[in-house]
Structure 1
């Protein structure tokens, strides 16, 4: 008996209506995108301007607002290839090790004698001791700061390579530790770049490692490569350093273990600072734009427990002394400590506007890049190139759709019309799923959609041809239709499972664009099978129940 249970009918129609609902925002792409950006901006800043409110109200809040993201080749954007200067991390490790070694060796002054740091190449720590005959004891103390390397390739090796020559002790990272440090630096840089790009609300960026020390960054929708480079290239290294003194001479030579940094607010003023900071931006857990007591833009920050303890201990012991808030080797502010700051929070204020305060907060929340990144390749892809690709994809999809519809109607008549309706809903369901999962559509993805249009009617062709055959032997058209769907099922499932296997292989082994093609093809296969086996059958059953034909022609 040709029939479909009521609950199945409701389920099929419900899925099709949900597909229409979730695919609809893509028909109003610019309006929905402006709505999403406005909502995200209001939530991030807590400020609602008339422009943001108008953009937010441009799309109903109760409607779905998920969109199919357009890739770099469709929307335009920026492409960067950056190289991380991992050698800078070696220097930072040695600079941070020196204060601890100085304290440990100073505790053994009676044995090793006076100690001092002497000039050495970057990434190397050279210490001169007063009693060269006690070098063995000095080496033993330094070895106490070396740890075993925990990787398989570095098994049995220590983190520090120590050499003694005369009265000089030379310390640097071992080769095994450098390899571990390089990998950790690249992974940290990847995460920080990703967080910075995500903070400004771009959609579906591509951020991936290339080679040993390079990072590929592709961000659709951003204005230019220079804008992206400015966002990513800013190290945003925030430190709180003790102030040794100040000078008006930019060429003044600071002492060993000291550095000189210009003031942001006062031109011609330079601060001499201790090289080792009290706390760094790594101890920050939050940073938000705000206003100071004069209503001027500022940034409120908060330390983690470790940073709060270190900052509280330093300010308690140095009341009346100045300390510097340093951002990217520039002194933002150098206030005098009036009282101990033990709450773990503070404020950065100075010559900045609200946009600069928001940008600074973004950079501080994302953290500091562990090392400088130099850009080897940069490209700006104009949106007009992407629009040409979108237009060409629309034309290709439209031509394919019209050709398939014409062929189906000419070949199968009324049943071809049923297949055409199912094909239209197949496209709606495909875009609905792409929108819900936040997929990125690229040129290969458009190729997957066009291929899906051609493949979507394969199942219908199998069913209709099977119905033709059953009409010759079956008892009545109802039985012929029922047997047609039943006997075509195995062939349809087999054909689409093999295609799904190929799509899975493409997704696992392919690169970014190939994966986009595989995702689109996979979703298209699933939706086409659903519409061919269930939606066309429902349409056929509804027509048959109303018309009750004695004979049918396929």
Structure 2
């Protein structure tokens, strides 16, 4: 008997209406996008302006507002390929080791004699001891700072490679520790870049590792590659370093364990600072733009308990001495410690405007890149080019849609018309699912949509051809329609399962654009099977119940 239970009809119609509701915001893309941006900005800052309120009210809050995100090739944006300078991390690790090792060796002064650091290549710590006969003891003390490498490939190896020659002890990271440090540095850089990009509200960036030490960054909707570089290219390494002196000579040679840093406030002034900072930006828990006592732009920051204790202890022991606030090897300011600072909070002020203060706060909140990024490739995709791609995709989809409609109606008459209605529902469901999951649509994704349009009627063709055959032998059109759907089911399932397997392989083995194609194709297969087996059948049954035809033509 050709019939569909009432609860099934309600469920099918409900899914279709829900799909239409969630797909609808994409037809008003600019308005809904402005609404979403305004809501996010108001929630993040708590500030409402007439412009934000107007944008928020431009789309009813009770309607769905999820959108299909447009990729770099459709929206325009910036593309960067950066190389992480991991050697800088080796140097920082070795420099941080020196103060602790110096204290440990100094405690054994009676045995090893006087200790001093001598010049050595970056990433290497060279220490000369006064009593060469006790070099073995110095090596033993240094090995106390080495730890086992905690990776399968580095099992049985230590973190430090220690060499002793004459009266000199040479220390550097072992190969296994360097490999572990490289991986950790890249992962940390990926996370920090992602935080920085997310802070400015961009949509669906692509941030991924390429090769051993490179990172690919693609951010849709940003103005230019230069703007993106300004956001993520700064390492934002904030440190508080002891000041040992100042000079006006940019070629002055600092001592061992010291470095020369220019002043941002006073041109031509250079500070001589100790390499080992008192506190670093890693100890920051918050940074917000604000104003100082003179109403000038500033950044207010707050340390975690560890940083607060270290800063408090240092300022308590060095009242009357200057210390430098250093950002990326440039001294923002070098105030004199008037009293112990034990509150765990402070303020950075100087030669910056409000926009620069806001940008600095973003960088500090996101954290410091562990090493500098050297950009090997940069490219800006203009929004005009993206709009051309969208227009071309619309033309391709429209031509395909019209051609399929014409073919189905000319081939199958009324049932072909039902199939075209189901095809429209299929497109709505496809965009609804893409919107709900927050998928990013790229040119390959558009290709997947166009392919879905062509494939969406395959199941209908199988059903309709089967109905034709059954009309020759079955008792009446109702039985022919019922048998057509039943006997075509296995062929439809088999054909679409093989396509799903191919889509899964593309998703697992493919890169970003190929994955976008696979996702679109997968969703399209599921929605097209649903509309062919349920929506088209429901339309056919509803028409049949109303018209009660004695014969039908397919």
Q: CA deviation at 1:303?
A: 2.0
Q: Give the corresponding residue for 2:345.
A: 345
Q: CA deviation at 1:228?
A: 1.2
Structure 1 segment 291-310 matched on structure 2, within 5 A: 291-310=291-310
Q: Give the corresponding residue for 1:540.
A: 540
**CA spacing shift, 1:248–1:165, aligned 2, 3 Å:** same
Deviations 1:12-42 (A, max 9, x none): 1111111111111111112222222233333
Structure 1 segment 48-67 matched on structure 2, within 5 A: 48-67=48-67
SS at match of 1:273: strand
Deviations 1:120-166 (A, max 9, x none): 11111111111111111111101111111222222222111111222
SS at match of 1:375: strand
Runs of 4+ in 1 over 4 A off after TM superposition: none
Q: Is 2:11 the counterpart of 1:5?
A: no
SS at match of 1:451: helix
TM, length-normalised to structure 1: 0.96
Q: CA deviation at 1:354?
A: 2.4
> Which stretch has the larger CA shift, 36-45 or 462-471?
36-45
Distance 1:47 1:247 in 2: 46
Q: Give the corresponding residue for 2:428.
A: 428
> Which stretch has the larger CA shift, 519-528 or 386-395?
386-395
Q: CA deviation at 1:553?
A: 1.8
Distance 2:189 2:315 in 1: 32
Q: CA deviation at 1:475?
A: 2.7
Q: CA deviation at 1:190?
A: 1.7
Q: Give the corresponding residue for 1:114.
A: 114
Distance 2:345 2:548 in 1: 78
Q: CA deviation at 1:347?
A: 2.3
Distance 2:498 2:260 in 1: 67
Q: Is 2:479 the counterpart of 1:487?
A: no
Q: CA deviation at 1:101?
A: 0.5
Distance 1:274 1:448 in 2: 58
TM, length-normalised to structure 2: 0.96
Distance 1:236 1:41 in 2: 24
Distance 2:338 2:50 in 1: 42
Q: CA deviation at 1:406?
A: 0.4
Distance 1:170 1:532 in 2: 73
Q: Give the corresponding residue for 1:33.
A: 33
Distance 1:483 1:440 in 2: 41
Q: Give the corresponding residue for 1:385.
A: 385
Q: CA deviation at 1:499?
A: 0.9
Q: CA deviation at 1:309?
A: 2.0
Distance 1:42 1:350 in 2: 29
**CA spacing shift, 1:470–1:395, aligned 2, 3 Å:** same
Q: CA deviation at 1:443?
A: 1.3
> Which stretch has the larger CA shift, 17-26 or 543-552?
543-552
On the 8 A contact 1:45/1:289 being kept in 2, the answer is: no
Q: Give the corresponding residue for 2:91.
A: 91
Distance 2:307 2:377 in 1: 38
Q: CA deviation at 1:263?
A: 2.4
Q: Give the corresponding residue for 1:194.
A: 194
SS at match of 2:154: coil
Q: CA deviation at 1:248?
A: 3.6
Q: Is 2:257 the counterpart of 1:252?
A: no
**CA spacing shift, 1:431–1:393, aligned 2, 3 Å:** same
Q: Give the corresponding residue for 1:459.
A: 459
Distance 1:17 1:288 in 2: 45
Distance 2:259 2:61 in 1: 54
Deviations 1:424-476 (A, max 9, x none): 01001101111111111111111111110011011111111222222223333
Q: Give the corresponding residue for 2:473.
A: 473
Q: Is 2:101 the counterpart of 1:130?
A: no
SS at match of 1:369: coil
Distance 2:552 2:293 in 1: 83
Q: CA deviation at 1:529?
A: 0.7
Q: Give the corresponding residue for 1:209.
A: 209
Q: How many residues align?
A: 554
Q: Give the corresponding residue for 1:372.
A: 372
Q: CA deviation at 1:47?
A: 3.2
Q: Is 2:285 the counterpart of 1:285?
A: yes
Deviations 1:519-542 (A, max 9, x none): 100000000011111111111122
Distance 1:356 1:498 in 2: 55
SS at match of 2:117: strand
**CA spacing shift, 1:62–1:288, aligned 2, 3 Å:** farther
Q: Is 2:328 the counterpart of 1:321?
A: no
**CA spacing shift, 1:43–1:265, aligned 2, 3 Å:** farther
Distance 1:236 1:67 in 2: 33
Deviations 1:284-338 (A, max 9, x none): 2222223334443322222222222212222232233332211111222323334
Q: Give the corresponding residue for 2:234.
A: 234
Q: CA deviation at 1:391?
A: 1.2
Distance 2:58 2:348 in 1: 36
Q: Give the corresponding residue for 1:333.
A: 333
Superposition RMSD in Å: 1.7
Q: Give the corresponding residue for 2:162.
A: 162
**CA spacing shift, 1:334–1:47, aligned 2, 3 Å:** farther
SS at match of 1:310: helix
SS at match of 1:378: strand
On the 8 A contact 1:409/1:416 being kept in 2, the answer is: yes
Distance 2:212 2:138 in 1: 36
Q: Give the corresponding residue for 1:101.
A: 101
Distance 1:299 1:424 in 2: 54
Q: CA deviation at 1:273?
A: 2.0
SS at match of 1:413: helix
Q: Give the corresponding residue for 1:273.
A: 273
Distance 1:535 1:456 in 2: 12
